[in-house]
Amino acid sequence: MRKLLVIILALSIVPIMYNESMAEKNTFFDSVKFIQYLDENTALEEVRNGNLDTYYYRISSDRLENHQAREGLQVFDSGGGSYSILVNPAESEEFNPFANKEVRFALNYLIDRKLIVNELMGGYGVPSISYYSPSDPEYLTVIEQLEEFNFRYNPTIAEKIISKTLKEKGAAKIDNKWQIEAKPIEVTIFIRSDDPIRKSIGEILAVELEKIGFNVKKDFGDLNKAFVVVYGSNPSDLKWNLYTEGWSRSAFVRYDSTGLGQMYSPWFSNMPGFNDPSYWNYENDKLDTLTQKIYTSDFETQDERSELIQEAVVEGVNESVRIFLASKIDQYVVNEKVNGIVNDFGQEFLVNLPLSMLKVIIMNL
């Protein structure tokens, strides 16, 4: 896996750095050298000292927060990543409060997106409620629809919605704890402990759910464990109710045809159940129809395309199976003496350097 990552990165860099227009100026690389360190601090110092030209992975904002920390470095800000909560909506023999759309939707008022951005992300991000964030070209298409939701951190509203729904389902609150059929209602949050921000998001959400009256079980793990517990289990087994997700994008796209399908629609195999025929699967024919039309360009005008996107985003937010929290602004560093770096709006940066050798460091994701 490690060797494959290096090869992919090398192949992705070469076309950027050598094309016909650049060939006319004799701009090319004789070789690209990749070096791996396990310590981010060491990697950062190597770039600062000029032993490495660039670090091909994002740097935590707290390591670059003042002039002294940036000495000897060029720092590039780039968007593209995001945080979200994946919600398990499965029907099960055991009561699952999030099988109810209203309870899922109420989470939008229970999560303090500004706190996440300002405190956990150090201000390097923007609150978002949908797949399209303010840094996306398509955001202008849906901004009016998103503003109508008017989500604000308001646990009182969240509790009212959740209480009303649970009572309608036969639940009762006894000693400030929700029960149904004389059993406490337990919520399991799978929290990515290998990411400090997502770990904090999970901890904060757990506290909010406990205040409302749920018993909360916190299951910590990395991506490997998530592949087993979240993406690799039958949702109806309720091994998880909520999962702290993180996303990264590889391009800045004006006319996106796949994003809404990937993030909201069952047909793309990225929603709970993941189209495994032996599992319970989330279904939404409306989202499937809308996003497949976008994907296949089944429209005749720009206005018709915009309407499809608007409907799909509104339906996705209303369903709240995947709830977006914030889009990230990642920071990348290059030695101050290196020229020819072009910042990429989508993610990371592009390299265009007339050097005989470029030394790049990467780390495991």
| CA separation for the pair 192, 227 (Å, rounded) | 12
Same domain, 10 and 46: yes
Handedness of CA 163, 109, 145, 288 (dihedral sign): negative
pLDDT in the model for residue 356: 40
Same domain, 73 and 97: no
Same domain, 261 and 185: yes
- Contacts of residue 268, defined as CB under 8 A and 6 or more positions apart, other chains included, come to 258, 261, 262, 291
Same domain, 67 and 86: no
Query: What predicted TM-score, i.e. pTM, was given to this entire model?
Result: 0.82
Same domain, 68 and 24: yes
| CA separation for the pair 78, 124 (Å, rounded) | 10
Counting every residue written for the chain, the total comes to 365
Same domain, 234 and 152: yes
The CATH code of the domain that includes 159 is 3.10.105.10
Total of domains in the chain: 2
Name which of 360, 323, 340 is nearest 46 in CA terms. 360
In the chain, where does DSSP find H-type helix?
Answer: 2-17, 20-23, 40-48, 101-110, 113-115, 139-149, 155-168, 196-212, 223-229, 259-264, 285-295, 302-319
pLDDT band, very low/low/confident/very high, at 52 (cuts 50, 70, 90): confident
Residue 358 pLDDT > 80, yes or no?
Answer: no
Written as six digits, the tokens of 229 are: 């517990």
Same domain, 232 and 88: yes
Residue 42 pLDDT > 70, yes or no?
Answer: yes
Share of the chain above pLDDT 70, in %: 85
Inter-residue long-range contacts of 63-67, CB under 8 Å, 24+ positions, other chains counted: 64/331, 64/333, 65/122
Same domain, 161 and 25: no
Same domain, 73 and 102: no
The model's pLDDT over 64-120, given as tens digits with 9 standing for 90+, comes to: 888 888 888 988 887 768 999 999 999 999 999 999 999 999 999 999 999 999 999
Better-predicted residue by pLDDT, 54 or 143: 143
Rounded mean pLDDT of 330-336? 87
pLDDT in the model for residue 80: 66
**Domain range for 67:** 2-77+331-362
Same domain, 165 and 56: no
pLDDT in the model for residue 360: 46
The model's pLDDT over 266-278, given as tens digits with 9 standing for 90+, comes to: 999 999 999 999 9
Rounded mean pLDDT of 133-141? 90
